[in-house]
A and B are shown apart, each in its own frame.
Chain A
Amino acid sequence: MERLFAAPAPPADLLIAGARVVDPGSGLDGPSLDVRIHEGVIAEIGPDLPRTEVETIDADGLVLLPGLVDPHVHLRTPGDEDEEGVASGTRAAAAGGFTAILAMPNTRPVVDTPIVLSGLVQRAGREAVVPTGFMAAITAGQEGERLAEMVALAEAGAAAFSDDGRPVERAAILRRAFQYASVTGLRLALHEEDLSLSGGADMHEGAVSAELGLEGYPSIAESVMVGRDLAIARYEGAPVHVCHVSAAESVAEIRRARELGVDVTAEVTPHHLCLTDEHVRSLDAGRAKMSPPLRAATDRAALIEALADGTLDCIGTDHAPHRGHEKEQPFAHAPNGVIGLETAFPAVYTHLVEPGLVPLAAIVERMSTGPAAAFGLPRPAIREGERASLCLWDLAANWLVQPPYASRSANCAFAGQTLRARCHLTIAAGAVAHRLIEAVAA
């Protein structure tokens, strides 16, 4: 069953010449290879391919990666199209090297019926420049009271189930959801937060919150729910995905559950990998307010370690657009969330790969095959015969993160930072989705 949807686009016919190709899944890390794409399919890979009658891109000094997959995007459609749309959100994805994304269902209305889902699927079929999947709600209205019609939603093309934005508060409901969802074979993606512990607070509880006087959202508000839910998943033998892990204690819970044989996948955001609660000192909600919050340096170190060793097997942006005037409020009054599609790989490359904390190959794996495998999506691979899903980067390029963005919103965590790595070309499902670079004469 098709679970990714995109607008029809002409298949690419291109020769990408002289790139360093890094695809750990295909065992490739070779300098100066040519990749010929014919009718959207990778036709040939090799050194010095003939350049006849094909548009050629001089990729000397550039790095070609398999397309990135983002398991956690808010497209704000339906209901808040002034914050983001399917077209703008997927353009932002393509600009960030993504060739597939999954959108969260906490829209207005919530994606909890086949009718709402079908509307999105049709819309993606008209507007999405990269293949887009849609998660449906676990519970009706994401209210945590009764299950959404999971089978009907799965038949309508749901990619997975999630009440993201909110936890499934009652353990008994989550247990029923695991049991029932097994019929669909789809994974539940969980937002882990004990609301009685987080208390609607605005930032990580620690030294910085003590000084700023902002109410603290302790790391245990996440980890106790991770522990609870992984215990339920284990009992039910259910596959489970943990969204946006932020705390060291949660990493320990995930590691332990995986050792016990739980089918758990887990994601971490670029902002939790690259920033800490020190970022909140700016009191700029546009850059520093999200849920879960940016945590302490010790948490960040644990996340990086877990990303490197595979405990965290996915990077997901939690791209969360918001209106400028809503973010331009005192910290406690502003909504949670930051946009991240366009800066995800550059931020992680700048903050983790360049300083030598995580190797490039591991990042590529966690941003591509990791999320694809977690949600049963096609795994982008730079291999002959595959439909082309790839992205071409100038890793040496420095660029200042600032508006305008491809996204319709501007609440970027990395705004004002100079990041390395610029995406020059994205080919998603065989079609050019983003392009900065010009062709050379054939």
Chain B
Amino acid sequence: MDVRPPKSSTKRRHLISITDLERADIERILQTAEGFESVMRRDLKKVPTLRGRTVMTVFFEASTRTSSSFELAAKRLSADTISLKAAGSSVDKGESLRDTVQTLSAYDPDVIVIRHPAVGAAGMITAWTDAHVVNAGDGTHQHPTQCLLDLYTIQAALGGIEGLHVAIVGDVLHSRVARSNILGLRTMGARVTLVGPPTLIPRDAAALGAEVSHSMDALQAADVVYVLRMQRERMAPGASYVPSLSEYAAVWGVTPARVRPSQLVMHPGPINRGVEIAPEVAGSAASRIVDQVRAGLVVRMAVLYDLLAGPGKADAESALRIVSPEVVSAAGQEVA
């Protein structure tokens, strides 16, 4: 296929990493999301904001809540949507990521929402399309809209984020949610402690600005207990991160005895009940797991709105920070 350079190389805004957003950007998006709550309470849950716009969701990796939530968010804003799942598409026939993206871009989508199993895939495609790109998860790297919906959920429940202490418990090593949340929570002024077995916490995690503990006692001091799933599908066979799931559950499972009633319990889903979290905790009054899913809808509406119709639309100066391919490649040229 011919190389078709993007028509406009400047002023296209993307959301690839939570670090693309400064605190003011996050606050604005959360505020916009709150505004969409009223739409959700209406009889007719739809606004015409993005009429005539096209949002493509392209998922190279299985997903239930993220893909449905993006699709519904786009529909609630009256955008046209196309949803592509990698299975059964030309990707199965060996088409490269570049060719797939350039083919889809021929339909001139305004936004491409992409999930891909490889780190960096979302950032990479910004060079091959004129659309705004939203990262819906790239391997173990980033999942910025999950972070935004988690921040939204915490803010809604506790009134703010600044000064809170959040414990992130479990398989941090394989978690893009953890990477986005650590950085996002730090940006919003929260303190973060990572808790889990040493084999599932990245070496040098302290460089991310988080504290590290291998004891579940560390949960006691937290306002929010954020539980991560054991990502067995990302573990190499025979890697032996933990001796057994039962030992993991016994030592690092979030059980009723290990959380206080006043603590918020969150989980990005899907849940392995009885492994990383006890069913009683997942279903308790402290659990915000269902709220997180609901928040996903309004937050993703807010992200789409911010990219296409928000304050950044006319001039990229405000709103989401510009991440153009030029900036990405320039970053790599720095002399170490």
Chain A contacts to B: CB under 8 angstroms: 199, 205-207, 209-216, 218, 274-276, 278-279, 281-284, 287-288, 294, 297, 300, 325, 328-333, 351, 416-417
User: For chain B residues 276-297, which have a beta carbon within 8 Å of chain A?
Assistant: none
- A351 to chain B: which residues have CB within 8 Å? 335
Also in contact, A333 and B332, with CB within 8 A (given A205-B203, A210-B202, A210-B207): no
Contact stretch, chosen from B113-121, B161-169, B251-259 = B113-121
The residue in chain B whose Cβ has the minimal distance to the Cβ of A205 is B203
Task: Give complex CA distance A281, B203 in Å.
Answer: 17
- A328 to chain B: which residues have CB within 8 Å? 96, 98
Task: Say how far B232's CB is from chain A's closest CB, in angstroms.
Answer: 16
Contact A332 B204 (CB under 8 A): no
Task: Give complex CA distance A297, B334 in Å.
Answer: 14
The residue in chain B whose Cβ has the minimal distance to the Cβ of A214 is B119
Contact B331 A281 (CB under 8 A): yes
Contact A278 B336 (CB under 8 A): yes
Task: Say how far A1's CB is from chain B's closest CB, in angstroms.
Answer: 42
Query: How would residues 315 to 336 of chain B score, 1 for a CB under 8 Å from any chain A CB and 0 otherwise?
Result: 0000000000000111111111
Task: Say how far A309's CB is from chain B's closest CB, in angstroms.
Answer: 21
- A207 to chain B: which residues have CB within 8 Å? 204, 207-208
Contact A216 B202 (CB under 8 A): yes
Among B97, B118, B202, B239, point to the contact of A331 (Cβ < 8 A).
B118
The residue in chain B whose Cβ has the minimal distance to the Cβ of A284 is B332
Q: How many A-B residue pairs have CB under 8 A?
A: 99
Q: Is B123 an interface residue (CB 8 A)?
A: yes
Contact B120 A330 (CB under 8 A): yes
The residue in chain B whose Cβ has the minimal distance to the Cβ of A196 is B238
Q: Is B176 an interface residue (CB 8 A)?
A: yes
- B97 to chain A: which residues have CB within 8 Å? 329-330
Task: Give complex CA distance A416, B96 in Å.
Answer: 25
Interface size class of B (residues with CB under 8 A): 35 or more
- B203 to chain A: which residues have CB within 8 Å? 205-206, 209-210, 216, 218
Among A206, A274, A330, A417, point to the contact of B118 (Cβ < 8 A).
A330
Among B140, B142, B333, B336, point to the contact of A416 (Cβ < 8 A).
B333
Task: Give complex CA distance A173, B199 in Å.
Answer: 32
Q: Of residues B119, B140, B179, B208, which shows the largest number of chain A Cβ atoms within 10 Å of its Cβ?
A: B119
Q: Is B157 an interface residue (CB 8 A)?
A: no
- B205 to chain A: which residues have CB within 8 Å? 210
Task: Give complex CA distance A275, B335 in Å.
Answer: 7
The residue in chain A whose Cβ has the minimal distance to the Cβ of B60 is A330
Q: Pull 12 A–B residue pairs with CB atoms less than 8 Å apart, ordered by A.
A: A210-B203, A212-B119, A215-B140, A275-B335, A282-B333, A284-B329, A300-B336, A330-B97, A330-B120, A330-B138, A333-B118, A416-B332
Task: Give complex CA distance A123, B141 in Å.
Answer: 46
Query: How would residues 114 to 155 of chain B score, 1 for a CB under 8 Å from any chain A CB and 0 otherwise?
Result: 001011110110000000000000111110000000000000
Contact B333 A210 (CB under 8 A): no
Also in contact, A210 and B204, with CB within 8 A (given A282-B329, A297-B336, A330-B121): yes
Also in contact, A287 and B332, with CB within 8 A (given A210-B203, A210-B208, A216-B203): yes
Task: Give complex CA distance A205, B329 in Å.
Answer: 22
Task: Say how far A184's CB is from chain B's closest CB, in angstroms.
Answer: 39
Task: Give complex CA distance A329, B179 in Å.
Answer: 22
Task: Give complex CA distance A269, B102 in Å.
Answer: 36
Contact A283 B336 (CB under 8 A): no
User: For chain B residues 201-232, which have a beta carbon within 8 Å of chain A?
Assistant: 202-205, 207-208
Task: Say how far B9's CB is from chain A's closest CB, in angstroms.
Answer: 16
Among A206, A213, A287, point to the contact of B139 (Cβ < 8 A).
A213
- B176 to chain A: which residues have CB within 8 Å? 213
The residue in chain B whose Cβ has the minimal distance to the Cβ of A209 is B202
Task: Say how far A272's CB is from chain B's closest CB, in angstroms.
Answer: 10
- B314 to chain A: which residues have CB within 8 Å? none
User: For chain B residues 91-121, which have a beta carbon within 8 Å of chain A?
Assistant: 96-98, 116, 118-121
- B239 to chain A: which residues have CB within 8 Å? 199
Q: Is B236 an interface residue (CB 8 A)?
A: yes
- B140 to chain A: which residues have CB within 8 Å? 213-215
Contact A282 B328 (CB under 8 A): yes
Task: Give complex CA distance A205, B207 in Å.
Answer: 12
Task: Give complex CA distance A283, B140 in Å.
Answer: 13
Contact A331 B119 (CB under 8 A): yes
- B123 to chain A: which residues have CB within 8 Å? 283
- B179 to chain A: which residues have CB within 8 Å? 211, 213
Task: Give complex CA distance A216, B141 in Å.
Answer: 13
Contact B208 A211 (CB under 8 A): yes
Also in contact, A330 and B202, with CB within 8 A (given A210-B208, A278-B334, A417-B333): no
Contact A417 B202 (CB under 8 A): no
Contact B119 A274 (CB under 8 A): no
Also in contact, A329 and B336, with CB within 8 A (given A210-B202, A211-B179, A212-B119): no
Contact B329 A199 (CB under 8 A): no
Contact B116 A330 (CB under 8 A): yes
Also in contact, A212 and B333, with CB within 8 A (given A205-B203, A325-B96, A328-B98): no
Task: Give complex CA distance A135, B278 in Å.
Answer: 59
- A416 to chain B: which residues have CB within 8 Å? 329-330, 332-333
- A275 to chain B: which residues have CB within 8 Å? 335-336
Contact A288 B118 (CB under 8 A): no
Contact B336 A213 (CB under 8 A): no
The residue in chain A whose Cβ has the minimal distance to the Cβ of B16 is A283
Contact A274 B236 (CB under 8 A): no
Contact B208 A283 (CB under 8 A): no
The residue in chain B whose Cβ has the minimal distance to the Cβ of A297 is B336
Task: Give complex CA distance A362, B15 in Å.
Answer: 47
The residue in chain B whose Cβ has the minimal distance to the Cβ of A281 is B331
Task: Give complex CA distance A209, B205 in Å.
Answer: 9
Given contacts A206-B207, A209-B204, A331-B119, 12 further A-B contacts (CB under 8 A): A205-B204, A206-B203, A207-B208, A210-B207, A212-B119, A281-B332, A282-B331, A329-B118, A330-B121, A332-B118, A332-B119, A416-B329
Task: Give complex CA distance A288, B332 in Å.
Answer: 8
Contact A330 B124 (CB under 8 A): yes
Also in contact, A329 and B96, with CB within 8 A (given A199-B236, A213-B141, A278-B334): yes
Task: Give complex CA distance A351, B333 in Å.
Answer: 13
Among B119, B183, B332, point to the contact of A282 (Cβ < 8 A).
B332
Contact B336 A274 (CB under 8 A): yes
Task: Give complex CA distance A276, B335 in Å.
Answer: 9
Among B119, B183, B208, B334, point to the contact of A330 (Cβ < 8 A).
B119
- B236 to chain A: which residues have CB within 8 Å? 199
The residue in chain A whose Cβ has the minimal distance to the Cβ of B139 is A213
Task: Give complex CA distance A205, B141 in Å.
Answer: 14
- B118 to chain A: which residues have CB within 8 Å? 329-333
The residue in chain A whose Cβ has the minimal distance to the Cβ of B332 is A282
Query: How would residues 63 to 104 of chain B score, 1 for a CB under 8 Å from any chain A CB and 0 otherwise?
Result: 000000000000000000000000000000000111000000
